Structure 1
């Protein structure tokens, strides 16, 4: 008997968080359908701007001409029953699949609601540019919602946003998660008795929401801190960002090969994120390392945890200032066992796979569709 096979399609992921979740989704598909039964296609690589612009003007975010040929050949050659698409901006592709191969079930994972994300990202763009981009994003994502058989969202907010924008919610939720790569040390629960400086850390690549967050924190919070502190900014692209005001105890490191030493040395992760959609993979990463986190509503969006135990939810400059200035050096630790346990229970890949496989079994084998 021939086994069912799956094609996994993804665009090239530029952000570290997006790539980690994409890798997770691909691993889950291989585990669920079988290692040798999943074909990987990374498309929309090195896409010429002129070609994409013409596609946008036509109302489609990505041109799919070459991909149609690849898919036809693969579907006709192999016993393809499922196509997993790792992005919601592939509506024209999904429509093509369902129009030509209606027996194939299309599963789409929404990393966020792209229409909401692009509205935030292009808020300051010229109106004509913004309108062209948002129109193509909306039309393409609407087709994804309309033609996908199974939709997976990251969190409840995205489900509600999807319903409000497109009139359909996700079939189930699968939050961000990571492979557990942290090796706990024997002395992680010891207090930092030699503490002279409170070490703060921001981790994230230099995309618009992170740059906005870092500039806000440096301008609004750091000038009013009375504690001895250092702040390190770590993330690809930050070495190229120009700051008008940069205190001597704020260090821009940009891209680093290994985040481990930076997490290990930090007393608090600061995450004053105000824009975006989906979930923040860096929050899950901080939990994995057992770190205390000072984050906004957006930084914690989709995470089920106790904010008081994990650190604190703070949405204003005064909130950050008051909390940090009240810290006592003698009580600080660099390891938060609560954060670590939340990660292991809810945001570790091995834990999340049970949810993925359980929901897939329920939908595919119990006739929900």
Structure 2
């Protein structure tokens, strides 16, 4: 049996989408010997790809042409390349509901092939909340506000198997899907041996891609907290961080107790996680599970998070490894919770064991294996 996986992300990406793609690829590669991945081209070599890969280039031309054909991605200019691979595949797997038109077209052409769609968030919710500015990217966003809901509906319609990342995401879609044919595939990470610093600092780490507006808003909240209590130290790291910070107004300056690390390598990011004892997640926008929390737990970090940012991690919350902030919390309330949390000795060994049981590939492999017991 041959599997074709098509994604809007790159396997090499240091983003939540890249992380979820690697999890999906691992799950199918553990079950099937013949897997091909169509993925966004990326010159980095952060990870070894365990399957055959076809890289396709994302550029302005591909973005525009694809949207002319009503696809809110960049894949339509590569349709015949994808068609050729799909023709010889038994399963067509799509990572992202943005590929709904593509999944619908291929399902119409190859009616006997099984179509599986993995939602890693509800794109319609994200795109509706996106801010518009006077630039080219906002023009594409404006078009996508129309195309993404259409694409999402086609993804649902064309799927034989559909997964969402949380039950909350499934409930957001419940007006459009057959719940009996929908399954949950939460975020999982590979097991790894981690060398932690013998004296982890009481820094509060926050990571993300800073061309993504929910992370931008979270950083502004951290800056505000840092000004209000200069005895607490924060480390913020991620893609395009310098670019975002350089565009902030002069009235929003980063205080000395916030350390910024822009575009870190995989090794540098791992060091930041290893050296910091705590993780703070002040993201409360969007949908899906926040991959940053799973990463923090994988390093034995105690997490402080908004309730809406901790969706999908209920077992970690109940175990006391994720400390909840209500979304309506005032800065003073957040600072009080942070100070109280830092006074308690961390539970690193317990968190490691919990993470290994709940959020590693051995769990996602079982879940993907189980999908084939429920084909409809």
- TM-score normalised by length of structure 1: 0.84
Is the 1:86–1:108 contact (alpha carbons within 8 Å) kept by the matching residues of 2?
yes
Question: In structure 2, how many angstroms separate the alpha carbons of the residues matched to 1:347 and 1:145?
Answer: 26
Question: In structure 1, how many angstroms separate the alpha carbons of the residues matched to 2:364 and 2:168?
Answer: 19
Would the alpha carbon gap of residues 125 and 29 (structure 1) be closer, same or farther in structure 2, given more than 3 Å must change? farther
Is the 2:31–2:369 contact (alpha carbons within 8 Å) kept by the matching residues of 1?
yes
Question: In structure 2, how many angstroms separate the alpha carbons of the residues matched to 1:74 and 1:56?
Answer: 22
Question: In structure 2, how many angstroms separate the alpha carbons of the residues matched to 1:340 and 1:211?
Answer: 29
Q: Structure 1 residue 168: deviation in Å?
A: 4.0
Residue in 1 that maps onto 2:369 = 357
Is the 1:55–1:62 contact (alpha carbons within 8 Å) kept by the matching residues of 2?
yes
Mean CA deviation greater in 283-292 or 6-15: 6-15
| Correspondence for 2:36 among 24, 35, 39 | 39
Residue in 1 that maps onto 2:51 = none
Question: In structure 2, how many angstroms separate the alpha carbons of the residues matched to 1:311 and 1:174?
Answer: 20
Is the 2:226–2:232 contact (alpha carbons within 8 Å) kept by the matching residues of 1?
no
Mean CA deviation greater in 7-16 or 171-180: 7-16
Mean CA deviation greater in 228-237 or 317-326: 317-326
Would the alpha carbon gap of residues 9 and 325 (structure 1) be closer, same or farther in structure 2, given more than 3 Å must change? closer
Residues 300-339 of structure 1 aligned to structure 2 (within 5 Å):
300-307=310-317, 309-314=320-325, 315=327, 316=329, 317-326=331-340, 331-333=344-346, 335-339=347-351
CA RMSD of aligned residues (A): 2.7
Would the alpha carbon gap of residues 57 and 75 (structure 1) be closer, same or farther in structure 2, given more than 3 Å must change? closer
Is the 1:60–1:136 contact (alpha carbons within 8 Å) kept by the matching residues of 2?
yes
Give the secondary-structure state (helix, strand or coil) at the position aligned to 1:245.
coil
Question: In structure 1, how many angstroms separate the alpha carbons of the residues matched to 2:299 and 2:285?
Answer: 24
Give the secondary-structure state (helix, strand or coil) at the position aligned to 2:374.
helix
Mean CA deviation greater in 229-238 or 254-263: 254-263
Is the 2:232–2:257 contact (alpha carbons within 8 Å) kept by the matching residues of 1?
yes
Whether 1:213 and 2:218 are equivalent positions in the alignment is yes
Mean CA deviation greater in 58-67 or 197-206: 58-67
Q: Structure 1 residue 178: deviation in Å?
A: 0.5
Residue in 1 that maps onto 2:202 = 198
Would the alpha carbon gap of residues 167 and 352 (structure 1) be closer, same or farther in structure 2, given more than 3 Å must change? closer
Would the alpha carbon gap of residues 32 and 136 (structure 1) be closer, same or farther in structure 2, given more than 3 Å must change? same
Residue in 2 that maps onto 1:6 = 3
Would the alpha carbon gap of residues 123 and 160 (structure 1) be closer, same or farther in structure 2, given more than 3 Å must change? farther
Question: In structure 1, how many angstroms separate the alpha carbons of the residues matched to 2:215 and 2:333?
Answer: 19
Residue in 1 that maps onto 2:173 = 162
How many residues in Structure 1 have an aligned counterpart in Structure 2? 345
Whether 1:18 and 2:24 are equivalent positions in the alignment is no
Q: Structure 1 residue 84: deviation in Å?
A: 0.9
Q: Structure 1 residue 9: deviation in Å?
A: 1.2
Is the 2:62–2:76 contact (alpha carbons within 8 Å) kept by the matching residues of 1?
no
Q: Structure 1 residue 130: deviation in Å?
A: 5.4
Q: Which has the larger radius of gyration?
A: 1
- TM-score normalised by length of structure 2: 0.82
Q: Structure 1 residue 125: deviation in Å?
A: 7.5
Question: In structure 1, how many angstroms separate the alpha carbons of the residues matched to 2:60 and 2:77?
Answer: 16
Residue in 2 that maps onto 1:30 = 29
Is the 1:305–1:342 contact (alpha carbons within 8 Å) kept by the matching residues of 2?
no
**Stretches of structure 1 lacking an aligned partner (at least 5 in a row):** none
Q: Structure 1 residue 345: deviation in Å?
A: 1.2
Residue in 2 that maps onto 1:100 = 109
Is the 1:92–1:140 contact (alpha carbons within 8 Å) kept by the matching residues of 2?
yes
